[in-house]
Amino acid sequence: MAKVIFEDLGIIDYKEAWDYQEKLFRNTVDLKIKIRKEESSEETKNYLLFCQHPHVYTLGKSGSKENLLLNTEGLADNDASFYEINRGGDITYHGPGQLVGYPIFDLEHFFTDIHKYMRFLEEAVILTLKDYGIEGGRVEGLTGVWLDCEGSNPRKICALGVKSSRWVTMHGIGFNVNSDLTYFSHIIPCGIQDKTVTSMQQELGRKLDMNEVATNLKQKLAAQFGFDYSEI
C-alpha cells in the first residue's frame, strides 16, 4: 500500500503554498530522474497538502484573462490577489471557507493514468458530499464535481486543476465548503458562462466544521487511492 505524508498548512498565502508545492514537486521529479539513471536508491514520497487561502484568483495556462472581470483596482477593492499559474484549466477562485487539496503524488505508486487520477479526486469529493446528504456528480465534458448534473440548474461545488510531469502531480482541488460565493461573481468560473457555483453551506443552509469536512475528505482520498497516511 502506498504511503502519503499529510500536512495541514492552515490559512496560507497562495504564493507561499505554490512555492512549497513547487519545491516538493521538483524534488520528486529530480529524484525520479536520478533513480532512472541509477544514481539513487531512494524512493520517491507522496504528499497531500490541505489548506485555505486568502481571497485569490488563479488562471490556468489554457485560460483567458478576459474571464477575470476585475481590474487591478477592483482586485484591491475586494482584498484579492491574482496569479497566472502552471496548472491546466481556466480561472478559479480560492478563499476562506474553501478546502483546498494539493496532492503531490508519484502516480507510479498508484497508476499511470492522469484521467483516472482526476476521476478519483472527483469521486472522493462525491463520497464526502454523500456523507452530508448532498448528491454530487459529473457533467459530461467538464471537470470537477457538480450538483443537479442533468437538471435545470447544474452548479459546481468543487473545481479541479492539475499539473503533471513524469507522472508527478501538483495543484489539485478547490472544494466550496463555507465559501463566500459573491467572489465568484467577479469571474467567469472555469470559463463556463451558463452554469453557477455553490457550496456545502449554500446547499445545507448552515455553516460546516471545516476540520470535520477535511478529515472526511482525507479518509475518502485514502480509501479511493488505497494509501496510508502519516501526519506532520
Catalytic: which of 51, 149, 158, 190?
Answer: 190
CA distance linking residue 1 with residue 181, whole number of Å: 38
pLDDT recorded at residue 75: 93
Which cell is 146 given?
A: 457538480
Helix 114-131 and helix 210-225: axis angle, to 10°?
Answer: 140
Give the DSSP per-residue string, 66-81: GGB---HHHHHHTT-E
Assess whether 158 carries a catalytic annotation.
Answer: no
What structural domains and CATH numbers belong to the chain? Answer: 2-231 (3.30.930.10)
Predicted pLDDT of residue 193? 62
Is the distance from CB of 209 to CB of 159 less than 8 angstroms? Answer: no
pLDDT along the chain (232 residues), means of 10: 97 96 98 94 96 95 86 94 87 95 98 97 98 96 93 93 96 97 85 78 98 98 96 86
Distance, CA of 46 to chain centre = 16
C-alpha 124/C-alpha 173 separation (Å) is 11
Q: How confident is the model at residue 89, as a pLDDT?
A: 78
Of 2, 54, 34, nearest to 166 (Cα)?
A: 34
Give the Cβ contact number of residue 22 at 10 Å: 14
Rg (CA), the chain: 17
Q: Residue with C-alpha cell 525520479? A: 32
- Output the pLDDT for position 182: 94
What is the rounded CA–CA span in Å between residue 197 and residue 175? 11
* pLDDT on residue 76: 95
Percent helix, strand, coil in the chain, to 5, is 35, 30, 35
Q: What's residue 191's pLDDT?
A: 58
